[in-house]
């Protein structure tokens, strides 16, 4: 029986694969749990990993590092493939204002996080983790970790994942609460909101959504063969682009897009311009979701186990503080931008709810808004803002780490 003990205890490659697989399986099982109709989804994998790390189980360092980085790349690349076809269309006509508001929401939340860190003296790297959790944005977490790793010669900082894990549940609730507050403030009559939407948007939103749908339809393959060539070519080019140093005046070190933003940029370009360049970049939605789920599961499992050691002690010391910070980072930008969208630009609740969900890249928020309205116009605003917001979340996390790391 000694081989069983070695398999579960000694940090070998086989041990690491076993532990990561079990963490993912348990996390996905827990993801079926819904609280008030809301599920934390794959974030349960991170929580399961934190528990495993807390009880003293460790992974082989090189194996864990590869699994984390490759999982992140798969996840980010699949997102780029999905949003790429409609990315540039989102800036036409009706999408300009929504993306501008989404940009302000992302920027305001990031500035609040930096301001809280500076005023309270909280470690800025933990604030990046809290920021990513507060807006439920896992790619931002991955981008921050990758940027820190490059800046510090391969050193891993567990506070990113710890801050993310503490803030994430309150991020999900906070975004939904913000939408509920905004609805109570100015959406008492759905018919009136429909008339306001028609008056402000005309057919712009519909035309934009139609163009994006038509672009996505070009991605659907007509046969079952997997499109592995463009995936691995895109990943290779993304890694090359991500590690390319970009000199920035006033910064002591050159800026790099990193292993998160690099593949994301290449995937967006490939999926948008590929068909016109006779590059077969088509991928079924099921294949895209499979690659995305695989990538994020591998990433969260390895990150969770690595950050689990000392997690409860860290939460006991700073957990309440991080929770409060996360709530402020979540709710204040959503309410401020939501009120501006309503009282300055006279947007309907459909557009505002979808814009908030897209800018926070939060599917539970979209699901909740759909429950309130049951209207496709919420989805239009969400898909219009989501691509740019996702890119900004990743990029801003990296910039904060480079500036303060």
pLDDT of residue 37: 61
* Mean per-residue pLDDT over the chain, rounded: 79
Which tokens belong to 38?
């809301």
In SS3 terms, 142-177 reads as: HHHHHHHHHHCCCCCCCHHHHHHHHHHHHHHHHHHH
Per-residue pLDDT tens for 372-399? 665 567 767 777 787 788 778 888 888 8
Which tokens belong to 120?
């309270």
pLDDT of residue 110: 93
pTM confidence score: 0.70
Give the separation between CA 17 and CA 316, rounded to whole angstroms: 31
> Which of 91-95, 149-153, 191-195, 317-321 shows the lowest mean pLDDT across its residues?
91-95
Per-residue pLDDT tens for 67-120? 888 888 888 788 778 767 766 766 665 678 888 999 999 999 999 999 999 998
Top-confidence range, 5-9, 17-21, 165-169, 251-255? 17-21
Per-residue pLDDT tens for 120-143? 888 899 899 899 888 878 778 877
Helix axes 138-151, 159-186, angle to 10 degrees: 150
| Mean pLDDT across 320-333 | 90
| Mean pLDDT across 235-260 | 74
Q: Who contacts 88 (Cβ-Cβ below 8 Å, separation ≥6)?
A: 272
Per-residue pLDDT tens for 30-61? 888 776 666 667 778 878 888 888 888 888 88
CA distances to 49, 66, 158 from 302, rounded to whole Å, are 7, 9, 11
Which tokens belong to 308?
């689990």
pLDDT of residue 339: 93
Q: Who contacts 289 (Cβ-Cβ below 8 Å, separation ≥6)?
A: 78
Largest interatomic CA distance in the chain: 73
Which tokens belong to 216?
């996505």
Contact yes or no for 187/193 (Cβ under 8 A): yes
Contact yes or no for 382/357 (Cβ under 8 A): yes
């Amino acid at each position: 029986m000694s081989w069983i003990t070695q398999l579960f205890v000694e940090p070998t490659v086989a041990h690491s694969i076993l532990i990561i697989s079990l963490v993912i399986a348990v996390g996905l099982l827990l993801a079926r749990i819904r609280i008030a109709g809301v599920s934390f989804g794959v974030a349960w994998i991170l929580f399961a990993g934190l528990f495993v790390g807390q009880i003293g189980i460790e992974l082989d360092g090189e194996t864990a590092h590869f699994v984390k980085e490759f999982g992140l790349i798969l996840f980010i690349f699949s997102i780029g493939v999905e949003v790429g076809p409609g990315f540039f269309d989102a800036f036409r006509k009706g999408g300009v204002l929504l993306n501008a508001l989404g940009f302000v929401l992302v920027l305001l939340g990031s500035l609040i996080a930096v301001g809280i860190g500076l005023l309270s003296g909280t470690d800025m790297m933990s604030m990046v983790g809290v920021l990513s959790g507060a807006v439920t944005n896992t790619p931002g977490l991955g981008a921050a970790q990758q940027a820190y790793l490059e800046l510090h010669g391969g050193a891993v900082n567990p506070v990113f994942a710890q801050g993310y894990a503490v803030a994430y549940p309150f991020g999900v609730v906070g975004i939904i609460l913000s939408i509920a507050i905004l609805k109570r403030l100015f959406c008492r009559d759905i018919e009136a909101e429909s008339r306001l939407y028609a008056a402000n948007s005309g057919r712009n939103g519909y035309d934009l959504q139609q163009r994006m749908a038509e672009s996505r339809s070009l991605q659907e393959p007509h046969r079952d063969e997997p499109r592995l060539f463009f995936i691995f070519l895109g990943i290779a080019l993304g890694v090359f682009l991500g590690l390319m140093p970009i000199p920035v005046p006033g910064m002591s070190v050159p800026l790099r897009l990193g292993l998160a933003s690099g593949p994301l940029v290449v995937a967006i370009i490939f999926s948008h311009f590929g068909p016109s360049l006779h590059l077969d970049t088509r991928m079924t939605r099921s294949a895209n979701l499979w690659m995305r789920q695989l990538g994020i599961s591998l990433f969260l499992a390895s990150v969770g186990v690595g950050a689990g050691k000392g997690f409860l002690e860290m939460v006991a010391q700073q957990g309440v503080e991080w929770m409060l910070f996360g709530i402020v980072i979540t709710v204040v930008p959503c309410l401020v931008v939501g009120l501006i969208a309503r009282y300055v630009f006279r947007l309907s609740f459909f557009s505002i709810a979808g814009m908030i969900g897209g800018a926070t890249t939060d599917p539970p928020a979209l699901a909740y808004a759909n429950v309130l309205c049951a209207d496709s116009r919420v989805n239009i605003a969400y898909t219009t803002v989501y691509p740019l917001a996702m890119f900004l979340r990743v990029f801003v996390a990296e910039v904060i780490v480079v500036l303060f790391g």
